[in-house]
Structures are given as structure tokens and as C-alpha cells.
Chains A and B, each alone.
Chain A
């Protein structure tokens, strides 16, 4: 579904990502792990057009989307969340979803009306997404007034509002407590049942190992392992990468 080919990104002298190949298959949950600074977030930024790659291609659904601007990548069906929460604090919870909703359906009849006022159909969809993320009762709160766990959930809801087929989730469990992580696990599995494809970047190993069918491991911008969670966990190089970090 998503094919990354020899993707590289260099920031000045820092080789953040080096010749990474990665295939994401339709309707799978792929775990993407690696120590801090190994280039995981950079890959998300490269795929979603925050900045262009130094080298390499990104293909999505048989089309080449390398270097596309973010709104086109989203319209093509790739949504992402941010590692550091980036909500629109001055907007309410439902307003955070309003613009994203319809991102894929620009043009056609009723565009002007849809841009000027909230139509019933949009609101119904927004409410369904909020319900799914357990935020419906906080619909009219300002995003900045939400508790941390709710802010994380709103990040996910805002991305889901655009109805992407592929979700790139950048450490969605960071800062969550055990109950919230359990809830997130359920959401992820439910999304998979709904046909979504997910790339899950996460430091919370237990979560990755239980929901991901496959795991890819990055270290210093390079892919060092890929495979079933159990196999990857036992990989010598993976152990070294993580032990090396701990020391």
C-alpha cells in the first residue's frame, strides 16, 4: 500500500534517514521502533510532505507521491499524528475536526455551502468520530482545556476525521497511563477491523508487540531489522541498538 524506496534525509551534517526501504501492506499494523533520534519521525515527515527527501521515492497505492505537499498527501489518503501534541488550542474539540473532515472531498456541488456553514452530514460524521475516540461529551470544550489523555485522543480523532486509509501514528501512547494505553490498543484494533492500515511508531514495547503483525527497527537512520515481533525482539542487532542506548 505504501512503498518507501531508498528514502534518505540529511539535515546539514546529520543523516537522519539513510536509504530506508519499507513496505506497508494493506490493512496491517506495522510497528516502527528504534531508539530516540533514529529517524522515525523524520520518515513520517518525509511521507506526509513536511519536507522533501534528499533521495528516494515514496509510493502510495501505485502512485508516486514523493515531494507532494501535505494537503495532497492527505487527500490521497495518508493521515498522521504528531509526536508532540499539536492541537489547535483556541478551537473547540469539534472545530479541530471540521477542516480535516472533507479534506478528501474538495470540489463538486455544495462546496461553498460546506465552507461557510456546518452541514448536518458533516456534523454527523464528526460526532461519530468523536464517539469512537470517546470525546463526544467534550465536543464543545476548547482543545487547550482538555486533560492530557484527551488531547492525545483528539489528535487521533482529528486525523481520523479526514478518513485516511493509511494512518501514521507517531508515539500515540507517549505520556499515557496504563488504562489509556489499554483503550488505545482497542481503538487500534477496531481501526484495523474497519479496514485501516496503520504504521505505529511507539516506545511502549508491550503495545507494539501485541498489536503489530510486523515490526521494523531503525537505528541511526538505517533499517536494521524487520519481521514478526517475536523474531525482531530476539534479533542480535536490535538488542545491541537498545542496549547501546541504555548504557
Chain B
């Protein structure tokens, strides 16, 4: 496999975590422009634990996810009850807050001969746990996709459970959900924490692939794109956002002859879909039809 294809697959895999994160929030009816905040928090936390404190790579990834989950819990504590434009605006502010905070975040410690750690606007260099572990980049890419497959399965199972049903009910109508016994605040809050942890996991995985992170990685475009991925692929299944990422990065960005037109096609597609299929290609109705047909064949 060429280095280029591997790097493409790593990027699709990593962004799929952020897309799934934004997707989970859409399922509870919240629009977030700020999941990139948890992406960088997870990345920085994972990088700090491996590069500065010598944690093994898998532990680092877990630390990143936990840190992002914790940050999401703090945010959820303040925003779980806010809906609609208030939540969206809050998430946007949070994304920018993370970016600006990182600009002045310095935490460097001597590792070997050098100082390593976040250095404000200069970013965080030397996150080398992947390369010192001797794992090949291809193996890492496969590991990312393995993790993504597990995450996908877990979310798909969750959404088919009664828990998942409660989550979808909150997304459709909070008052009605409460009336059938759903604890809306708790369900929304826990979903936000899980979504934050997912984005954080993506951040940790990315940090160790790129070996460095900078505040610019919390750019709002990452949040906007991950939101759009779910709207392209569809809200009916967690496969939707993954399809969205694969389409954007795999097709639009990788084909040379599309160079320069990517954002035009991407933006145009998002607009067309919002009009023609407001809940994406694989929306709830389509997914329901397909699963019924499959079930019918089995019976």
C-alpha cells in the first residue's frame, strides 16, 4: 500500500471519530460546531501522557478519550438543558475557547536532552510514541480502523437498545420523551460525554500519527465538516457519518483533477442534500425500509 493511501486512510479513520461524535449529538437533536475542542483536548492529553510521562501508546489514547470526556461532562453540566441555537452557539464558543486557550498553554518538561510539551502558538512537537514503539504506520492505520469498527458496532448496538431508543426520543421531542419516562437531562448529558470521548479518541490517534499538534487543529472547519458528514451520509445509521468522511476525504480531496473544487462540490452537495434529503442519504426512513426488507428475507 502506498504511503499516500495509508495517510489518506488514517485521516479518514481519524475524522470518522469526530464525525461520529457530531452524529451522536445530532441524534439527541443538538447541533455542535465545536467537537474539534474535544479532538484537540484528547490529542493534547494523549500526547502529554505518552511524550512527557512515558505512558504506552494505548494508555495515552485512553487518557485522551477520558480527558475529552471529562471536558465534555463539564460542558454538558452547563449546557445539557440548552437546546437549539443556544446549544449550537455554545458549542461554537467552546471550540474557539479551546483554540485560544491552547495558544497560551505552555507545559514543557525536559525529556532526554530536549524540552518537550505544548508550547503555546508553537504547538506541541515530539509526540513520538508510535515511532519509538516500532509499530509500522500501516499497522497503525489498521489499528485505527479496527478501533473505528468496534466503535461503530458499539454505537449501532447502543442505538438499537432501549437506551438508544431513549436517546433518539430525546432527539425527536424532549417533552414527549420525558412523558414516557425518559430522564432527558441524564440521557442528553451522558450522550454528550460519550460524544466528547469519541472526538478525544480521534485526537489522540491523530496526534500520534502526526507527531505534533497545534492550536490550529482546533480550527472551526473541523467541527463544521464533521457536522456536514452526518448530514451527507445520513442520520438513520452511524454508517452515515463514516460514508460522509470517506466521500469528502477519499474522493473529493484525493482526486487531483478536483483540486480547488473540493469546497465548491462539498458545499454544493451539502446544500442540495439539505433541500432534497434533509436527514441525509441514509435517513431513518431509508434505513427502516432496508432493515425491514432484510428481516423479511430472513423470515
Residues of A within 8 A of B (CB): 48-50, 69-71, 74-75, 79-80, 82, 86-92, 95, 98-100, 102-103, 114-118, 140, 142, 144, 158-159, 161-162
Contacts and interface: CB of A to CB of B under 8 A. Distances in A.
B299 to A, nearest CB: 11
A75 B182 CA distance: 11
B88 to A, nearest CB: 21
B288 interface: yes
Interface in B133-188: 157, 161-163, 165-166, 168-169, 172-173, 175-183
Contacts of A118: 162
A26 B163 CA distance: 34
Contacts of A114: 162
Contact of A99 (B157, B175, B182, B285): B182
Contacts of B288: 92, 142
B163 A162 contact: no
Contact of B173 (A49, A86, A103, A142): A86
A171 to B, nearest CB: 15
B81 interface: no
24 contacts: A48-B179, A50-B175, A50-B179, A69-B183, A70-B179, A74-B179, A74-B181, A79-B179, A80-B179, A86-B179, A87-B176, A91-B165, A91-B169, A95-B165, A98-B162, A99-B180, A100-B180, A114-B162, A116-B163, A142-B285, A144-B285, A159-B179, A161-B180, A162-B180
B122 interface: no
Nearest to A79: B179
Given A88-B176, A100-B181, A116-B157, 13 more contacts: A69-B178, A69-B183, A71-B178, A74-B179, A80-B179, A88-B172, A88-B173, A90-B168, A90-B236, A90-B284, A117-B161, A158-B180, A162-B181
B178 A86 contact: no
Nearest to A74: B181
Contacts of A103: 180-181
B159 to A, nearest CB: 11
Interface string B167-211: 011001101111111110000000000000000000000000000
Nearest to B27: A90
Contacts of A116: 157, 161-163
B158 to A, nearest CB: 9
A70 B182 CA distance: 8
Contacts of A88: 168-169, 172-173, 176-177
Interface of B: 157, 161-163, 165-166, 168-169, 172-173, 175-183, 236, 284-285, 288, 292
Contacts of A140: 292
A87 B175 CA distance: 11
A142 to B, nearest CB: 6
A118 B176 CA distance: 21
A89 B172 CA distance: 8
A75 B179 CA distance: 10
Contacts of B284: 90, 142
A74 B180 contact: yes
Contacts of A95: 165
A75 B181 CA distance: 7
B166 A50 contact: no
A142 B291 CA distance: 12
Given A90-B284, A117-B161, A99 B166 contact: yes
Contacts of B180: 74, 99-100, 103, 158-159, 161-162
Contacts of B236: 90
Contacts of B285: 90, 142, 144
User: What are the nearest 8 A-B pairs in CB distance?
Assistant: A103-B181, A70-B178, A100-B180, A90-B284, A86-B176, A116-B161, A71-B181, A115-B162
B285 to A, nearest CB: 6
Contacts of A89: 172
B165 A99 contact: yes
Nearest to B289: A142
B172 A90 contact: yes
Nearest to B235: A90
A104 to B, nearest CB: 8
B172 A115 contact: no
Contact of B183 (A50, A71, A98, A100): A71
Contacts of B175: 50, 82, 86
A125 B165 CA distance: 18
